[in-house]
Chain A
Amino acid sequence: MGVLIQLAVIFGMLSLLAVGGGMAVLPEMQQLLARHFGIGHTEFVHVFSLGQLAPGPNMMMVLVFGYQIAGFAGAATVALSFLLPSGVLCLAAGRLWRRIGESPWRRAVQSALEPIAIGLMCSGVYAVGRAAIAGPVAAALALAGVALVLRTRVNPVFIVLGAGLLGAAVMHAGGWT
């Protein structure tokens, strides 16, 4: 029971701090999971990858951590505490906004949050990249990912799955990383 409460507190807090989406909280999540539950870099990256392969919001991968730490109850606790606090806030803010309407301060808050969200996303990419890029093959895969998403219109999931399979085959055949 204590573990479930701890999970609810951690992921509930992350939910409310996720400005600009889930990527923003990745570094903090990685640190908290390592400190409180001993989840290492590699495991974190693997679960992150599972999220990339799943349909719907990638960040639902958080429930995998919940499952690892406390089984089905852990998965449910993490999923709900990651969705509900920000969800309730959004519901309330949406209703308030419909009553107030356009205001110069709303514009200001939105413009102010945009660069912060981008900065946090950069930190999220950096945290995942640093943990995921362990050798030359992985570095080449990451560069291929950047190029494909910027230069082509291919659905990212096909890029991730296709290049991931190819990369795994190369690593397996050559024994590199």
Chain B
Amino acid sequence: MTTPRVPLRELFLRFLAIGAVSFGGGMIAYQKVLLIDRKKWLTRDEFMAALAISQALPGLNSVNLAILAGDRLRGLPGALAAMLGLVLPGACFLLAAAMLYAQGQDHEVGRLLLGAVAAVASGVLAGVTAALGAEQFRSARSVALITATFVLTSVVKLALLEVLLLMVPLAIYLYRPRP
């Protein structure tokens, strides 16, 4: 437990770099390289525990992971520094994009590009979901839960809160610890 005291500035700048160069699913991998391999700020076990928590809780997984790592290293200020670093580059990019989009919504080529990007991205996300769920799709119990969640959300069109109120207790019951 002799973690060196990491300067807040360095924590912020390291996460800022990840936020600026990583795209899509790469963020978790970049954080792993930074936290375990390059800086040895966390042990492998600590990292895996933080990753599990960040995935189990609501919120963006990469942001949750940055918060947990920052908190582990420097408490609340560390959590804020890591979170802000991770999201700032994208936020600036998107604010600029929002201003351009507001001016040029009827720009023919821009609209076609955004439409085409959405089509590819929906395919990419389908692939990512299939890969992430590969293990889940092999067990009858989880396939039933995945299907029920999908049908309630997309076919029955229940509100998300209602879906969670129905599905979470049911799923916890199905996965309850057995002696």
Contact = CB atoms under 8 A, between A and B. Distances in A.
Contacts of A24: 160
Interface string A54-95: 111111110110011000100100010001001101110111
Contacts of A123: 149-150, 153-154
B64 to A, nearest CB: 4
Give the most central of A17, A139, A161: most B CB within 10 Å: A17
A163 B125 contact: no
A56 B117 contact: no
B115 A145 contact: no
Q: Is the interface of B mostly helix, strand, loop or mixed?
A: helix
Interface residues of A, number: 108
Interface string A153-177: 0011101110111111001100001
A interface secondary structure, majority: helix
B68 A90 contact: yes
Contacts of A109: 56, 172, 175
A63 B109 CA distance: 23
Contacts of A79: 87, 91
Which residue of A25, A68, A95, A145 has the most chain B CB atoms within 10 A of its CB atom? A145
A31 B133 CA distance: 26
Contacts of B26: 155
Nearest to A17: B160
B33 interface: no
B34 interface: no
B61 A159 contact: no
Nearest to B54: A90
B174 interface: yes
Interface in A101-139: 104-105, 107-129, 131-134, 137-139
A79 to B, nearest CB: 6
A67 B24 CA distance: 22
B67 to A, nearest CB: 5
Contacts of B177: 104-105, 107-108
B55 interface: yes
A21 B123 contact: no
A68 B153 contact: no
B119 A141 contact: yes
Given A59-B60, A83-B87, A48 B136 contact: no
Contacts of A45: 114-115, 118
A146 B87 CA distance: 27
Contact of B58 (A15, A58, A108): A15
A114 B101 contact: no
B121 interface: yes
7 contacts: A108-B175, A117-B55, A122-B154, A124-B125, A125-B125, A149-B131, A168-B113
Interface of B: 18-27, 49-50, 52-64, 67-68, 71-72, 76, 79, 83, 86-91, 93-95, 97-99, 101-102, 105, 108-109, 111-133, 136, 141-143, 145-150, 153-154, 159-161, 163-164, 167-168, 171-172, 174-177
Interface of A: 13-25, 27-28, 42-43, 45-61, 63-64, 67-68, 72, 75, 79, 83, 86-87, 89-91, 93-95, 97, 104-105, 107-129, 131-134, 137-139, 141-150, 155-157, 159-161, 163-168, 171-172, 177
